[in-house]
Amino acid sequence: MCGIVGYVGQRAAEDVIIDGLRRLEYRGYDSAGIALFNEQELFVEKHAGRLSVLEGYLSANPHRDARLGIGHTRWATHGAPNDVNAHPHTGCTPRFAVVHNGIIENYNELRRELMARGHRFVTETDTEVLPHLLEEVYAGDLATAVFEVVAKLRGAYALAVVTSEDPNTVIAYRQDSPLIIGLGQGENFLASDIPALLPYTRQTVVLDDGDLAVLRSSGVSFYREGKEIEKDIFTVTWDEVAAEKAGFDHFMLKEIHEQPKALRDTLSGRILEQGTNLAEEIGLTSDMIKGINRVVVVACGTAYHAGLVGKTLIERLARIHVEVDYASEFRYRQPVLNPNDLVIIISQSGETADTLAALREAKRQGCTVVAITNVVGSSVSREGQHVLHTWAGPEIAVASTKAYTTQLAALTLMAIELGLGRKTLKVTRAQELLRGLREIPLQVGEIIAQAEKIKAVAEHVAKSEHVFFIGRGLDFNVALEGALKLKEISYIHAEAYAAGELKHGTLALITAGTPVICLFTQAELQEKMVSNVEVVRARGGYTVSISSCCADVTGTISDVEIRLPETDPLLAPMLSVVPLQLLAYYAAVTRGADVDKPRNLAKSVTVE
- Binding stretches for ligand F6R (CB under 6 A): 300-303, 347-349, 352, 355, 399-400, 484, 488, 605
Decide if 2 is catalytic. Answer: yes
The nearer residue to ligand F6R, 175 or 355, going by C-beta atoms, is 355
Instruction: Please list the residues that pair with 223 across neighbouring strands.
Output: 212, 228
Tell me which of 46, 402, 485, 603 is the catalytic residue: 603
Nearest by Cα to 70 from 96, 49, 50, 91: 96
Helix (H, G, I), strand (E, B) or coil at 345: strand
Express the helix, strand and coil content of the chain in percent, nearest 5 each. Answer: 40, 25, 35
- What ranges make up the beta strands (E) of 39-154? 42-48, 68-74, 96-104
H helix runs in 270-401, sequence order:
278-282, 286-290, 301-318, 327-330, 353-364, 379-383
Question: Minimum CB separation from ligand F6R for residue 307, in Å?
Answer: 10
Tell me which amino acid residue 512 is. Answer: A
Question: Minimum CB separation from ligand F6R for residue 482, in Å?
Answer: 11
| 489 neighbors 401 (Cβ within 8 angstroms) | no
Pairing of strands 166-175, 96-104: unpaired
Kindly provide the b/e burial profile for residues 544-556, where b requires at least 16 CB atoms within 10 angstroms of the residue's own CB.
Answer: bbbbbbbeebbee
Backbone angles phi, psi at 215, to 5 degrees: -100, 125
Planar angle of CA 32, 36, 39, nearest 5 degrees: 170
Instruction: Please list the residues that pair with 37 across neighbouring strands.
Output: 42, 68
- Which position's Cβ is nearest ligand F6R? 301
The nearer residue to ligand F6R, 162 or 191, going by C-beta atoms, is 191
Q: Tell me how far apart the alpha carbons of residues 399 and 255 are, in angstroms, rounded to a whole number.
A: 10
| 262 neighbors 405 (Cβ within 8 angstroms) | yes
Q: Tell me how far apart the alpha carbons of residues 168 and 68 are, in angstroms, rounded to a whole number.
A: 7
The nearer residue to ligand F6R, 54 or 398, going by C-beta atoms, is 398
Question: Minimum CB separation from ligand F6R for residue 3, in Å?
Answer: 15
Tell me which amino acid residue 538 is. Answer: A
The nearer residue to ligand F6R, 380 or 575, going by C-beta atoms, is 380
Question: Minimum CB separation from ligand F6R for residue 355, in Å?
Answer: 5
The nearer residue to ligand F6R, 348 or 545, going by C-beta atoms, is 348
Question: Minimum CB separation from ligand F6R for residue 196, in Å?
Answer: 17
Backbone angles phi, psi at 422, to 5 degrees: -100, 5
The nearer residue to ligand F6R, 255 or 417, going by C-beta atoms, is 255
Tell me which of 2, 367, 518, 549 is the catalytic residue: 2
Question: Minimum CB separation from ligand F6R for residue 454, in Å?
Answer: 18
Pairing of strands 155-163, 96-104: antiparallel
Query: Please, which residues have CB within 8 angstroms of residue 541's CB and are 6 or more apart in sequence?
Result: 468, 510, 511, 512, 513, 514, 515, 516
The nearer residue to ligand F6R, 85 or 355, going by C-beta atoms, is 355
Q: Is 435 exposed, middle or buried (0-12, 13-18, 19+ CB in 10 A)?
A: exposed
Sheet strand arrangement including 560-563:
493-498, 466-471, 515-520, 542-547, 560-563
Q: Tell me how far apart the alpha carbons of residues 536 and 468 are, in angstroms, rounded to a whole number.
A: 10
- What ranges make up the beta strands (E) of 258-302? 294-299
The nearer residue to ligand F6R, 238 or 326, going by C-beta atoms, is 326
Q: Tell me how far apart the alpha carbons of residues 284 and 173 are, in angstroms, rounded to a whole number.
A: 34
Q: Tell me how far apart the alpha carbons of residues 470 and 534 are, in angstroms, rounded to a whole number.
A: 12
The nearer residue to ligand F6R, 301 or 394, going by C-beta atoms, is 301
Residues with active-site annotation: 2, 603
